[in-house]
Chains A and B, each alone.
Chain A
Amino acid sequence: MNALQTKYGRDIQAILAKYPDDQKRSAVMPLLYVAQREGGHVSRQDLADIAEIIGTTPTEVASIVGFYTLYHDAPAGKNRMQVCNDLPCAMRGADAFLQGVCENLGIEVGGTTADGLVTVEAVMCLAACDNAPMFQVQDYENITYHENQTVESAVALVEKWRKAEAKNK
């Protein structure tokens, strides 16, 4: 049993059960999400562990991490605030919204706040074009949608995280 299996054995079994016995490779995507529960990114050890579970090479697993945008090979903020500024959202103020949020947090697009709590990213269409401006938050365990946003509501959310973080310390 490798480190990933030791830690998430039951979850991994449930994932593998979804696919035919001889098609374990199908589990690579859900397994990468499991790996990201630790620190929000996939480590080199995770690549090796997942490769072992599904019977492929770490290089193959790494190619999946590189291809899909929701997998990350490096740490960033605890919450990735992913703002859609694709065409339909941009016609309803998403670019100005993105700029406004970044200015308020004192970072550039793609940057992370000094406390390591938030990374703001510009992303492609999130299928919520009628509720722009909007963003999703990808944290270690979850992805949540936040629609019909203003700079104020987005900054208020960050403040809420900061308070929760301070409480936990």
Chain B
Amino acid sequence: MSTVKGSHILLRHRDNPALSTYEGYVKDGGFKAWKQAVTKMAPEAVVNEVFDSGLRGRGGAGFPTGLKWRFIDKNNWPHYVVVNADESEPGTFKDREIMEKNPYQFLEGVMLTAYAVNANRAYIYLRGEFWQLAAELDKQIARLRKEKHLGKKLFGKDYELELYTHLGAGAYICGEETALLESLEGKLGQPRLRPPFPPSFGLYGKPTIVNNVETLANVPLIIEKGAKWYRSFGTEKSPGTKIFSLSGRVAKPGNYELPLGTTYGELIMQHGGGILDGGKIKAIMSAGASSSLIVANDQALATPMDYESVPSLGAQLGSASIIVIDETVDLKWLVDKTVHFFKHESCGKCTPCREGTYWMQNITHRLLHGEAEQKDVDLLKDVAMNMKGKCLCALGEFATEAVVSSIERFPKDFKLKAGAKTVAGELKVTHD
């Protein structure tokens, strides 16, 4: 049986570094779930177990994983599984640790998912920067083929499976699942109009399940230990654990795997060691650069990090990439950074996003370089509000979150002295 210490279901390698090797993973009970599934379980039984576990997509949207699998079109073949390993959200670095340090658990999760939805091919789409990681995965996949965990007639059964890695080349938008599929088909990474959704029309127009790395890494232990065991972690509506990527102005940044429902205060003050240089916390970004800024008061710090509680703070759990902002950070500088990111990453397909990020950047530059007037703050918000709800994918929406919430919730940072121009933030900006 796979060993679980505390709340480490995914980051088990921290307690047992040998898991990164094939031998170490097998010794700890690895691939038992895989063999059990292929030899003793119907694909539907695997789907049902994951459905019952209440596992929700860890890439950001939080869609119930088992339900997504049930949506796959059984009248159209072949089926594909595509893993979203395009981890590119500023503040997010969890999938990288899973794939680097606990790769076989991740791969076993991919394999179980493929079996569950009757796919014989799975592609792992990694951001291009994960070049060395992809090379390692290729070696690990070759090992699995050699050990007959992959290939034809697996365990003597009439089931075959092959896994392949595919490297992207530096485009945040490819984390959006339909843009990822376009990219994997060799086209520009631009989102598709939906519906149809990938479970009916995905890779090469065939039924496809797209899941995030962290989501799939949960699957082997759910199959091995059961849905009930999995539900002993987390809350009723948010079962399981989550890897919280903690970054920014915090003493001990890093990944922390904790039960869903752990409070922001516990993560930041206890596990994260509080604020860098003994500073004072000002704001929390709950889901990377895509999130709104939460006022970091006592109520926020006491709020559980789960799918149902975070919205009460005017934010989302999302990918749970927590960026800590302290009093040294001027939010004019911060929104210039986030807008710069989204302007760079906008794929250009939808006019409100392509043009909106451009005009927002013009204004944030004026704010930052002392060339803005008070009415520019209103203009900035106005441009953002005119982007909301008008784009094919979420990127255009995400680009406005930090802007609008900063202006609304931290008015002091955007109150310019009467008649005077802005004063640049304390932290120096070098890009343009």
Cβ–Cβ contact B428 & A125, under 8 A: no
Tell me the nearest residue of chain B to A122, going by C-beta: B431
Known contacts: A30-B166, A86-B289. The answer to whether A125 contacts B88 by CB under 8 A is yes
In the complex, A71 has a CB within 8 A of chain B: yes
Tell me the nearest residue of chain A to B96, going by C-beta: A127
Alpha-carbon separation in the docked complex, A126 to B93 (Å): 8
In the complex, A144 has a CB within 8 A of chain B: yes
Alpha-carbon separation in the docked complex, A32 to B166 (Å): 13
Cβ–Cβ contact A28 & B169, under 8 A: no
In the complex, B79 has a CB within 8 A of chain A: no
Of the stretches A5-13, A18-26, A151-159, A161-169, the one at the interface is A18-26
Alpha-carbon separation in the docked complex, A70 to B167 (Å): 11
- For A68, the chain B residues whose CB sits under 8 A away are 128, 168-171, 189
Which one of A29, A33, A128, A136 contacts B186 once the chains associate, using CB atoms below 8 Å? A29
Chain A nearest CB, measured from B255 CB (Å): 7
- For B338, the chain A residues whose CB sits under 8 A away are 87
Cβ–Cβ contact B337 & A130, under 8 A: no
Cβ–Cβ contact B428 & A129, under 8 A: no
- For B428, the chain A residues whose CB sits under 8 A away are 95-96, 99
Cβ–Cβ contact B90 & A86, under 8 A: yes
- Chain A: interface size category: 35 or more
Tell me the nearest residue of chain B to A65, going by C-beta: B169
Q: What total of A-B pairs shows CB separation below 8 Å? A: 153
Cβ–Cβ contact A91 & B427, under 8 A: yes
Alpha-carbon separation in the docked complex, A64 to B427 (Å): 36
Cβ–Cβ contact B90 & A88, under 8 A: yes
Cβ–Cβ contact A129 & B93, under 8 A: yes
Cβ–Cβ contact A91 & B248, under 8 A: yes
A 54-67 binary contact with B (CB < 8 Å = 1; else 0)? 10000000011001
Cβ–Cβ contact B169 & A71, under 8 A: yes
Chain A residues 99-143 with CB under 8 Å of chain B are: 99, 109, 122-130, 132, 136, 142-143
Chain A nearest CB, measured from B424 CB (Å): 12
Cβ–Cβ contact B430 & A95, under 8 A: yes
- For A144, the chain B residues whose CB sits under 8 A away are 131-132
Alpha-carbon separation in the docked complex, A35 to B214 (Å): 33
- For B127, the chain A residues whose CB sits under 8 A away are 127
Known contacts: A26-B185, A124-B345. The answer to whether A143 contacts B249 by CB under 8 A is no
Cβ–Cβ contact B185 & A23, under 8 A: yes
Cβ–Cβ contact A29 & B289, under 8 A: no
Cβ–Cβ contact B431 & A143, under 8 A: no
Alpha-carbon separation in the docked complex, A129 to B246 (Å): 8
In the complex, B118 has a CB within 8 A of chain A: no
Cβ–Cβ contact A127 & B129, under 8 A: yes
- For A127, the chain B residues whose CB sits under 8 A away are 87-88, 92-93, 95-96, 127, 129-130
Known contacts: A87-B337, A90-B427, A130-B255. The answer to whether A125 contacts B131 by CB under 8 A is no
In the complex, A27 has a CB within 8 A of chain B: yes
Tell me the nearest residue of chain B to A87, going by C-beta: B337
In the complex, B341 has a CB within 8 A of chain A: yes
Most B Cβ at <10 Å: residue of A26, A29, A32, A127? A127
Cβ–Cβ contact A109 & B168, under 8 A: no
B 323-338 binary contact with A (CB < 8 Å = 1; else 0)? 1010001000010011
- For B246, the chain A residues whose CB sits under 8 A away are 130
Which one of A18, A33, A54, A85 contacts B164 once the chains associate, using CB atoms below 8 Å? A18
Chosen A-B contacts, 18 in total, with CB atoms closer than 8 Å, are A27-B186, A33-B167, A67-B347, A68-B170, A86-B289, A87-B248, A88-B90, A88-B91, A95-B431, A125-B89, A125-B172, A125-B341, A127-B130, A130-B93, A130-B254, A143-B132, A144-B132, A145-B132
Pick the 5 closest A-B CB pairs, nearest first.
A69-B170, A68-B169, A25-B186, A143-B131, A129-B247
Q: A residues near B, CB below 8 A?
A: 18, 20, 23, 25-30, 32-33, 54, 63-64, 67-71, 85-88, 90-92, 95-96, 98-99, 109, 122-130, 132, 136, 142-145
Contacts A26-B185, A68-B168, A129-B90 aside, 9 further interface pairs with beta carbons under 8 A come to A67-B188, A67-B189, A68-B169, A70-B170, A85-B430, A88-B91, A91-B325, A124-B88, A127-B92
Q: B residues near A, CB below 8 A?
A: 87-93, 95-96, 127-132, 164, 166-172, 183-189, 204, 245-249, 253-255, 276, 289, 323, 325, 329, 334, 337-338, 341, 344-345, 347, 427-431
